[in-house]
Amino acid sequence: MAHSRWIPLESNPKVFNSWAYEAGLVDTQAHFEDIYGLDDEILDLMPQAVKAVALLFPCTGLVAEKRKEEDAKIKASGQEPIDPTILWMKQTISNACGTMGLIHSLANTDVTLVPESPLAQFIEQCMDKSPEERAKLLETTPLFGQIHATAASSGQTEVPQNLDTDLHFTCFVKAPTASARLAETQTQQWRLIELDGGRIGPIDRGECTDLLKDAAKYVKDFYVSQAKSISFNMMALCPGPQLEGH
């Protein structure tokens, strides 16, 4: 199963919402929307407060090189401690990065899931497992492959014959500082955390005061500025039901 290959998910709110609702997200509580720009005046139009940000980017050239360099640096020297309750899992299924981004987004935010739904049960089973064990659980849960395939076929573009792609999903959430979580204290200090199953683990991206704007700034400074391709797309996990026509 570790060498299986799924159909890439289209970076489209309809596709992500289809996956999320089928997996167990309560559709009146949250939904995905496109982010149409990285400037504050555009971001201010999004429903608040955004719970997670999903990014599709070209994993090539300088961007790919920087990812490898950063993973090696973290492995050698460590990083800012991460909130221990963050759920992160390794990606072992080709083209499953969309599903990984969805799981990472929904499992690490305060969204409401249908009790005993596939995602609610999966998250519960993941709690006491390592990232590699969580990946194995995903591999051996056929229902998620079915949910992924159904969502992939709901997109606006035709399913490609060639499943090779350089595009990759990652996501951003906010989490309390690790020290505050471990001390079980109330805190207003938050960190921006990037969750990507293709990386060494969850990665701290600095202080977070506004998830949407902080994620947008990071994407602008460290993804868009280093890529030659314009194949970027961002979506936000927003509160409330999806509006008609969106």
Q: Helices (H) and strands (E) in the chain — how many of each?
A: 9, 6
How high is the pLDDT of residue 245? 55
pLDDT for position 156: 56
Is 82 part of a structural domain of the chain? yes
Rounded CA-CA distance 206/97 in Å is 23
Query: What pairing do the DSSP bridges indicate for beta strands 30-35 and 233-239?
Result: antiparallel
| 168 counts as catalytic | yes
Which of the four pLDDT bands, split at 50, 70 and 90, describes residue 148? very high
- Distance between CA 221 and CA 230 in Å, rounded? 14
Residue 81 has pLDDT above 50, yes or no: yes
Of 160, 164, 158, 121, nearest in space to 143 by CA? 121
The more confident residue out of 76 and 222 is 76
User: Which pLDDT score is estimated for 178?
Assistant: 82
Structural domain for 169, as ranges: 13-239
> Dihedrals φ, ψ of 205, to 5°?
-110, 15
State the DSSP string of 143-182. HHHHHHHHHHTTSSSPPPS----SEEEEEEEEEE-HHHHH
Residue 6 in any domain: the answer is: no
In a domain, 93, yes or no: yes
CB neighbourhood size of 153 (10 A): 13
DSSP state of 121: H
**Secondary structure class of 83 (helix, strand, coil):** coil
pLDDT one-digit tens code per residue, 116-144: 999 999 999 999 999 999 999 999 998 99
Q: Is residue 176 part of a domain?
A: yes
SS3 content of the chain, % helix, strand, coil (to 5): 40, 20, 45
pLDDT at residue 2 in the model:
44
pLDDT range class, residue 6, cuts 50, 70, 90: confident
Q: How many CB atoms lie within 10 A of CB 163?
A: 12
The residue from 31, 59, 97, 208 that is catalytic is 97
Can you tell me the mean pLDDT for 3-15? Answer: 85
Give the helix/strand (H/E) hosting 6.
Answer: none
Check 31, 104, 148, 168 and give the catalytic one.
168
Distance, CA of 135 to CA of 115 (rounded, Å): 22
97 in active site: yes
> Is 245 a member of any domain?
no
Question: Can you tell me the distance from the alpha carbon of 28 to that of 117, in angstroms, rounded to the nearest whole number?
Answer: 16
Average pLDDT, the chain: 90
Q: What was the pLDDT predicted at 162?
A: 46
Q: Is residue 215 part of a domain?
A: yes
**pLDDT (tens digit per residue) in 155-214:** 655 544 544 568 999 999 999 998 766 565 565 689 999 999 999 999 999 999 999 999
Least confident residue range of 34-38, 145-149, 154-158, 206-210: 154-158
Average pLDDT of the residues in 13-34? 96
Distance in angstroms (rounded) separating the CA atoms of residues 153 and 7: 9
What values do phi and psi take at 238, rounded to 5?
A: -110, 155
Total residues found in the chain within this entry? 246
Residue 1 pLDDT exceeds 50: no
Q: Which pLDDT does position 158 carry in this prediction?
A: 56
Number of domains in the chain: 1
| In a domain? residue 33 | yes
Report the CATH number that the domain containing residue 109 is assigned in CATH.
3.40.532.10
* Contacts for 85 with CB less than 8 Å, ≥ 6 apart: 175, 181
Alpha carbon distance 29, 7 (integer Å): 28
pTM above 0.85, yes or no: yes
Residue 25 lies in a domain: yes
